[in-house]
Structure 1
Amino acid sequence: MSRKLRVVALVDPELVPPDTIVGVSDEDMADWKMEYDVRVTLEDLGHEVVCLGLEHLGQLAEVQRDFRPHIVFNMLEEFHGAATYEPMVVGHLELLRLPYTGCNPQGLLVAHDKALAKHVLRGAGIPTPPSRVFERTSRAAAGSISAKSLNFPLLVKSTVEDASLGIATDSVVHSERELRRRVQRVHDDQCTDALVEEFIEGRELYVGTLGNQRPTALPVWELRFRRLPPGTPNIATADVKWDGDLQKEWGVMTERAKLPAAWERRLQSLARRVHRTLGISGYARMDFRVTASGEPYVLEANPNPNLSYGEDYAESADAAGLDYESLLQRILNLGLSYPAAWKRQLV
């Protein structure tokens, strides 16, 4: 059995889970299910857990002084409403010399900037759809928004938002007019630059990775639709991810992908390369599109994906022989062993 640890479960202030879920409906607990699952499972493993809803950075020094944690289990996806601040919180943990789970600040910065990540991946020879970025400054010159060398259909999304925020079925555009309208929608509604990439017809596949410098790749998972309306693109929109009624109507499901062994090995190899190339540590999920002929394209990398019990990442780990308790303990161990800069200075 692993040694007992003092663990700070670091969460959004609005997602601090209750002590018990007796009488709580699935719908009511959906927002903080991961936080609850992780905290309870860590306690079941014998660890002492304090849940901290982070409102200001000073709380980290306070909990370090009062609780003396061995590690912080980072479940933040944003700070003060901004996903771009998450790497800064993790950087603060490093400055405090506090070990933490999940991805390091540099890996988070690169992976969260989808345009930058694609540039890095292309430089490493990793296949990713051709793309362009339209900065918010182009709002004043709508006529300058043009596909140019890109081939329709195109997918338009924010350069920085996660969890499919802002992605809808009409994010896939088929004309210059639709492109201009959707780019301006991203500029206006999400206040970010817009990433436009060629839409790859094919299957939507996910590969989890687990590790620091030498990551392993989990079995390939697939997003499927039993009743997708005709003409609707098979993409993970915000509604597909979060709207329970639509999930039932369209028969949305995820499961282990049925692939030729050679395809799965190639996807897993690419996922490990993406993990290393972007400097990711801990755990991540790589999103792919794969054509009918088996050509894979990396869409994006997602450090620190959803760890809820029964969700894709945990299910994929279970298929690889890691049950939920073993997965969380492995993530703790990876955080403790990550060679942060302050540890190297102590050698």
Structure 2
Amino acid sequence: MEKGSNQVQKSSKHSKTLGPVESLEQYLTSDWWKRIFNSMYLKTDADVVEDPRITEKEVTTFHEILNIEDGNTILDLACGQGRHLIELATRGSYNLFGLDRSRYLIQRARRISKEKGLSIAFKEGDIRKLPYPADSFDYVTNLGNSFGYFETLDDDIKILEEIFRVLKPGGKVLLDIADGSYIRENFTPRSWEWIDDKHFVCRERSLAQDNERLITREIITHSEKGVIVDQFYAERLYTKEQLSDLIERANFQKVSFHGNTKPESLRDQDLGMMEQRFILTANAVKERTSQKNQKKVRNVVVVMGDPSLRDAVKPDAVFDSDDFDTIEKLVEALNKLDNYKFNYLNNHKTLVSDLQQIQDKADIVLNLCDEGFENDATKELHIPSLLEMLNIPYTGSNPQTLAYCYDKSLIRGIATEVDVPVADAFVITENEKLFELNVPFPVIAKPNFGDSSFGITKNNVAHSVEELADAIYRIRKQFGYAKPILIEEFLTGAELSVGVVGNTEKYTVLPIIEEDYSNLPDHLPKICGYEAKWLPDSPYMNALKSIPASIPPHTEQALIHHSLKLFKRLDCRDYCRFDWRLNSKGEPKLLEVNPNPGWCWDGHLAKMCSLAEMDYSQMLGAILDAAAMRLNPRNYPKINVD
């Protein structure tokens, strides 16, 4: 777990530990909650959060307090692995939704509910900006002491205001939260306990300087491997009076407390913040949000490549039957999205005037023109530039982001700047003499500018200076002698893709996929290049397939952490794909960043969405959803699929 320059780095076997520290607060980061809720969390807190007896008792209590009836719509915020919703689903016919920031816990919740045959809509997201329309829920719950994680009081108010917004008039919120007064006076400064036959955990606690938060340091040790986790986290301590005031500031009324609760842990050791909690409810007394404030994005203009123009990326430089079939599948999928009217623009000769005509009529442009203006990949950024000049909102990344990511060498520099690992590489220009360079083989030569694997084939992998010279000659002949070429170490580990749909405040990290090379003939280099994407008769296209990634949890967490860091640094928007490869030691190295990645029905993004139980229509809807939320975060529409 990375905690910043002064923090601890977690590895697969051992973790550096700080030893004794004078101040826990010094090592606490504001975003600790982004990474702590993983498989180890389910071990350390298993005595409470994995005990079905405790969950059943808590659900019974909450059910009675709220008087839940069949047909009610219920949202559980910070739902974790979905234990309360899964139990509730067995007790009646309800419309159940769960939201949590932890991808690991949400994926676990989906898997368990699917195995049990339960229909629960689990979603990954930030509870400060809820991905639901106003007036959606009869009840919203926040259970298991999942409130007060953020650094400022304003963040907690945002949560309550969002809950108020999504509740129906007369709806209720229920909070199950630590009794701050009790915890402040009775917390255990130091403790240790065995959590299973191999792991024990030591905890150290202290109050923050402002006396408003309890900070915990948790060191998890494996009996054979030593320290595996050294992490810091915190929670705000609310008294009943403070919480009542906070809830009323968010416009709730009729705040009621329903006694205290304490989990009956069989381990009966350190319960920490879960030791004593109070339950409260409050009513959303409000008028139904007007239809004007719930305006949906209805008129969508889809901008695409021009099938009448030459496209140098395609094998025969023209749109073929497969391309037109892909477009048909797109239209079919978009037609499944309710409450939307789609119009399509693909004539680039009249595109500027066409956009001017719809300037005041389109709610948003679905920018699927990844071919670039006039099917020129170097002009991909021209489309969003034009839309910005016309002040037409659009999906996907802005011109600057597209310009950055088209330059592989530039992306390497930006990644290095923010401590994202990249493969060893260097750029050569037309004047450099290859035979004077000290090159460690094998390497792969790539055009520095480009996408869609254009110019990257099996022949680009070189094991000698002679092979590299041949590869460089072919690239220069195809792209021009003045263009720079990237010479990169050829990595031999798993080739992985990380997909992100959404934006910084609210996003979904899709299941990571891996390229399966097991059916590829041994004499061919393991790359997913031009042959695999564009040449039907190639052994690559016939042999390669994408499968769920088989990587250790710490590698998965590192990939996600680094991808999100780049997503934010590069100002990516709405959806993006990050391509990685592991080296011989299993360490991830960035290959490329792909803003506005391929949107076709059988592309990598669609494959990742499929693993997340999103069909093609839902994937396209999620992109529209992300853009709508970014453009109008308070009132963006929920997209329904037939």
Q: Give the shorter-chain TM-score range.
A: 0.7 to 0.9
- 183-192 vs 33-42, greater mean Cα deviation: 33-42
> 1:80 — aligned with what?
374
**Distance of 1:335 and 1:29 partners within structure 2:** 31
CA gap 1:313/1:174 in 2 versus in 1, 3 angstroms: same
Q: Is the 8 A contact 2:404 2:411 kept in 1?
A: yes
Does structure 2 retain, via aligned residues, the 8 Å contact 1:186–1:193? Answer: no
Spell out the pairing of 1:46-61 with structure 2 (5 A cutoff). 46=338, 47-56=340-349, 57-61=351-355
Query: Are 2:521 and 1:229 aligned?
Result: yes
Aligned equivalent of 1:120: 414
Task: Provide the TM-score with structure 2 as the length reference.
Answer: 0.47
Change (3 A) 1:15 1:287: farther
1:7 equivalenced with 2:296 (yes/no): no
Query: What is the RMSD computed on CA atoms of the aligned residues?
Result: 2.6
1:241 counterpart residue number:
533
Name the % identity: 28
Cα shift readout 1:186-219 (whole Å, capped 9, x = no counterpart): 1221223211111111111111111222443211
Amino acid in structure 1 at the alignment position of 2:547 = E
What is the alpha-carbon distance in structure 2 between the residues aligned to residue 119 and residue 147 of structure 1? 24
Alpha-carbon distance between aligned partners in 1 of 2:484 and 2:325, rounded to the nearest angstrom: 31
- Partners of 1:310 and 1:63 in 2: CA distance: 33
Cα 1:236–1:249, aligned 2, differ >3 Å: closer, same or farther?
Answer: closer
Shift of 1:161: 1.6
Q: Greater share of helix residues, 1 or 2?
A: 1
The change in CA–CA distance for 1:4 and 1:93 in structure 2 (over 3 A counts) is closer
Q: 1:312 to 1:61 in 2, by over 3 A?
A: closer
Larger Rg: 2
Unaligned ranges ≥5, structure 1: 17-26, 341-347
Q: Are the aligned partners of 1:147 and 1:176 in contact in 2 as well (CA < 8 Å)?
A: no
Cα distance between partner residues in 2 of 1:212 and 1:270: 15
- The verdict on how the C-alpha distance between 1:230 and 1:310 changes in structure 2, with shifts beyond 3 A counting, is closer
Distance 1:303 1:177, change over 3 A: same
Mapped pair 1:208 → 2:499: yes
- Indicate the residue corresponding to 2:628 in structure 1: 336
Distance 1:145 1:54, change over 3 A: farther
Indicate the residue corresponding to 2:440 in structure 1: 151
Letter in 2 for 1:129: A
In the alignment, does 2:561 pair up with 1:272? Answer: no
Alpha-carbon deviation of 1:288? 0.7
Query: Paired residue for 1:98?
Result: 392
Q: Which runs of 4+ in 1 moved over 4 A?
A: 247-250
1:289–1:298: 8 Å Cα contact kept in structure 2?
A: yes
Is the contact made by 2:511 and 2:548 (CA closer than 8 Å) also made in structure 1? yes
Q: C-alpha displacement at 1:34, in angstroms?
A: 4.1
Aligned to 1:111: 405
Q: Deviations over 1:7-59 (max 9, x none)?
A: 1111111079xxxxxxxxxx954224443333322222131111101414523
Q: How many residues align?
A: 324
- 1:278, distance to aligned residue in structure 2 (A): 2.0
Amino acid of the structure 2 residue aligned with 1:72: V
2:356 alignment partner, one of 62, 69, 75: 62
Match of 1:193 in 2: 484
Partners of 1:288 and 1:126 in 2: how far apart? 11
C-alpha contact (below 8 Å) 2:302/2:367 kept by paired residues: yes
Q: 1:263 aligns with which of 519, 531, 555?
A: 555
* Distance in 2 separating the partners of 1:110 and 1:178: 30
- Paired residue type of 1:10: V
1:159–1:207 Cα change, 3 Å? same
1:130-189 per-position Cα deviation (integer Å, ceiling 9, x unaligned):
211123x33xx6xx1257354211110111221111111110112222222222321221
Report the Cα offset of residue 260 of structure 1: 2.3
Go from structure 1 to structure 2 and tell me whether the alpha carbon gap of 1:188 and 1:310 turns closer, same or farther (over 3 Å shift): closer
Look up the match of 1:169.
458
Q: What are structure 2's unaligned runs of at least 5 residues?
A: 1-132, 134-294, 310-318, 633-642
What secondary structure is seen at the aligned counterpart in 2 of 1:3? coil
1:275-322 C-alpha deviation (Å, 9 max, x unpaired): 222221121111111135320000001111222224321121232243
